[in-house]
Chain A
């Protein structure tokens, strides 16, 4: 069965610090998809990124970057030069492409607090 672990329940940083949110997943499928979502204090879940299991290239989008490593089953998310607006709960999710559940399983989320 698929499983997503976000071991960090809460992280507190000061503005401009870099921060990495960890995501470790478990799956027996060879085809799967990983996602990150952001849930700001307003409550809605906002899609950030999708990565498939065949593409281990890291991705950078502005201050956000993602490191996907199949060898360690991890899909970590780094925010560079954090800002107060980055304060939110961040969720990692996994869906399986073949033989498993295509419905994504979400981790429990990591609450990021960025202090001014």
Chain B
């Protein structure tokens, strides 16, 4: 068990809808990262938050947004969903802000199916 908790485990929704994925980092970790894993794109970094502030942005669509709350949990909001958004979404946490050597600990993921 990595100590990173993601909910829900599975999500089935329709095109055009909006969903929220939730992540609780390991105790004490200030950084949260979101990744999307799909068969054709592999594991893609979306966004990082550090202690409540956005720190790095990757290939995140404008329809997607995230935030990190004062208790350090994070939410990833996906809106106007399309079939191509179906994927496994991972949250990871680490102790540091932008130190490259930080080990990221991953949650079990949320599998999103857009029908």
Contact = CB atoms under 8 A, between A and B. Distances in A.
B90 A33 contact: no
Contacts, number: 56
A47 B103 contact: yes
A106 B108 contact: no
Contacts of A103: 33, 45, 48, 56, 58
Given A32-B100, A47-B103, A106 B43 contact: yes
Given A97-B101, A103-B56, A103-B58, A44 B33 contact: no
B58 A102 contact: no
A42 B108 contact: yes
Given A45-B90, A47-B103, 12 more contacts: A33-B100, A43-B111, A45-B92, A47-B2, A52-B101, A91-B43, A102-B56, A102-B98, A103-B33, A103-B58, A104-B100, A109-B43
A106 B101 contact: no
Interface of A: 31-33, 35, 37, 42-47, 50, 52, 91, 95-97, 101-109
A44 B109 CA distance: 6
30 contacts: A33-B101, A35-B103, A37-B106, A42-B108, A43-B88, A43-B108, A43-B111, A44-B2, A44-B106, A44-B109, A45-B106, A46-B2, A46-B106, A47-B103, A47-B105, A47-B106, A95-B100, A96-B100, A102-B56, A102-B98, A102-B99, A102-B100, A103-B33, A103-B48, A103-B58, A104-B100, A105-B45, A106-B43, A107-B42, A109-B42
